[in-house]
Amino acid sequence: MKQKYNAQLFAIASIVIGLNVSTSAHAAGSNGDIDKVLGELTRQHNSSSNLVKNTRQPASLALSSTLVNPPKANKTGGNNVLGQLTAVASSTVSKFKQTGTASWYGRQFHGRKTTSGESFDMNGFTAAHSTLPMNCYIKVTNKDNGKSVVVKVNDRASFKDNRILDLSYGAAKAIGMTQKGTGNVSIERVDAP
């Protein structure tokens, strides 16, 4: 059971931080597994390119992690490591920022079901993103004119080109992007309006 828990913990840590850590770090099943994982994550971060380092904040992921200074033991006597990893993941997602090309979609999908189960409203303020959680909100800024709009991510899109986002027609119109069909945008995660 403990080995299965350590494997799950290790997998979550790898996903949260976005690094490829070998499974040998958790194979032993000892209490030092978390230290090994954090050490390996720090090693990989330090050997990353400057571009990768600049997208990860803070500079030392392992040393600034809440896992290094865990909270007091829970009622069952153990530390809630899974809860700590969830908090790290939430913090990472809440600080999400990205720049790239956005496009829009409209009439041809109006009324169809989105990935979240809602009906697509071409005049609403919604978006499709490849990885952000469903029903989160992002601020989209058209870098060409400085106009911004807050949209709800309610759909998925798989992009084969360099696009990062598909906006509903209404959201694209609000930031002056409908004439060209695409635009250079920056997106950042925000709290629900």
pLDDT digits (tens, 9 = 90+) for 59-105: 444 455 555 555 555 554 455 777 777 666 666 656 789 999 999 99
pLDDT at residue 192, rounded to an integer: 80
Domain interval for residue 34: 2-94
Give, in degrees to the nearest 5, the angle at Cα 131 between 70 and 23: 50
User: Same domain for 105 and 183?
Assistant: yes
Q: Are residues 107 and 163 in the same domain?
A: yes
Residues 128 and 169 in one domain: yes
Give how many domains the chain has, as a whole number.
Answer: 2
Q: Measured between alpha carbons, how far is 81 from 73 in angstroms, rounded to an integer? A: 10
H or E stretch covering 176:
none
Is there a single domain that holds both residue 72 and residue 111? no
Highest mean pLDDT among 33-37, 78-82, 107-111: 107-111
pLDDT exceeds cutoff 50 at 21: no
Same domain, 53 and 85: yes
Instruction: Quickly state the pLDDT bin for 173 (edges 50, 70, 90).
Output: very high
Tell me: do 129 and 82 sit in the same domain: no
Task: Based on the fold, state whether residues 66 and 142 are members of the same structural domain.
Answer: no
Q: Is the pLDDT of residue 110 over 70?
A: yes
Which domain-ending residue is among 94, 113, 148? 94
Tell me what the mean pLDDT of segment 146-170 comes to.
92
Distance CA 14, CA 16 (A): 6
The reply to whether the predicted model has a pTM over 0.75 is no
Structure confidence at residue 24 (pLDDT): 39
Residues 127 and 101 in one domain: yes
Distance CA 50, CA 110 (A): 42
Residues 158 and 80 in one domain: no
Is 175 exposed, middle or buried (CB count within 10 Å of its CB: 0-12, 13-18, 19+)? buried
Dihedrals phi, psi of 65, to nearest 5 degrees: -70, 150
